[in-house]
Amino acid sequence: AQSVTQPDIHITVSEGASLELRCNYSYGATPYLFWYVQSPGQGLQLLLKYFSGDTLVQGIKGFEAEFKRSQSSFNLRKPSVHWSDAAEYFCAVGAHYNQGGKLIFGQGTELSVKP
Amino acid sequence: DAGVIQSPRHEVTEMGQEVTLRCKPISGHDYLFWYRQTMMRGLELLIYFNNNVPIDDSGMPEDRFSAKMPNASFSTLKIQPSEPRDSAVYFCASSPEVKTNYGYTFGSGTRLTVV
């Protein structure tokens, strides 16, 4: 069965510092991987996704993520965090399309940004 | 496009009452998903539809929950009778066909409080 683990429940970084949010997945085949961001009181917005090909994926708002099959990881990174990046971040794994396309989400990592 | 539209944004109801949540997906999207978000359980997939047909309802907590999609532009999630433990944020999401263009768009959610 698919599963996603985000080991860090809450992370605090200083504005301008670099950021890495961890995500580990469990899936029997090549997964479809996603990162979403949720601001307070809002729905989830897609940051980036990986299907195949280049393992370093660029997304919106200056985020990138790297797929590492050997580590079953898909960590999210940003070189310089802005105060507006404070939000909750969700990693998700999707089954192959012929299994219905549903996404399984991790528990989320809440990001706080110090001035 | 107005995105995925959910109504109401907030709902407060008394235990035992019927609650109906509504969702209008993005036009042309083949898939519609209902998720529930709570602090304790995170984001849980309740049910999803493909071309208006329910595909997987294994996440529906119990018989008090039901979902319908009478046409491509409208879906409802009904809880009858409601209980305090149903208090959560309910999200609807839609997606294009998943074979080549996988990615959900979420609505802003309905915050349900059952007292």
What are the pLDDT digits (tens) for B34-62?
A: 999 998 889 999 999 999 999 989 999 88
- Note whether B13 contacts A: Cβ–Cβ < 8 A: no
Q: Measured on CA atoms in the order A27, A32, A33, A37, is the torsion positive or negative?
A: negative
Nearest to B19 by CA among B107, B88, B115, B112: B112
The per-residue pLDDT for B102 is 66
Partners of residue B107 in chain A, C-beta under 8 Å = 43
Averaged pLDDT for residues A75-85:
97
The phi and psi torsions of B42 (rounded to 5 degrees) equal 70, -145
Question: Any idea what the Cα angle at residue A48 is, between residues A43 and A49, rounded to 5°?
Answer: 110
CB atoms within 10 A of CB B72: 17
- Assess whether pLDDT exceeds 70 at residue A54: yes
Partners of residue B108 in chain A, C-beta under 8 Å = 41-43
Q: Specify which of A29-33, A78-82, B25-29 reaches the highest per-range mean pLDDT.
A: A78-82
**Can you tell me the distance from the alpha carbon of A92 to that of A6, in angstroms, rounded to the nearest whole number?**
10
* Percent of chain A topping pLDDT 70: 94
Averaged pLDDT for residues B78-90:
97
Nearest to B105 by CA among B19, B23, B37: B23
Band (pLDDT 50/70/90 cuts) for residue A63 is very high
Beta strands B65-71; B10-13: pairing state: unpaired
Nearest to B91 by CA among A40, A42, A9: A42
**Are B20 and B106 within 8 A, CB to CB?**
no
- Note whether B58 contacts A: Cβ–Cβ < 8 A: no
**Can you tell me the distance from the alpha carbon of B17 to that of B14, in angstroms, rounded to the nearest whole number?**
6
- Assess whether pLDDT exceeds 80 at residue A93: yes
Nearest CA in chain B to A94: B102
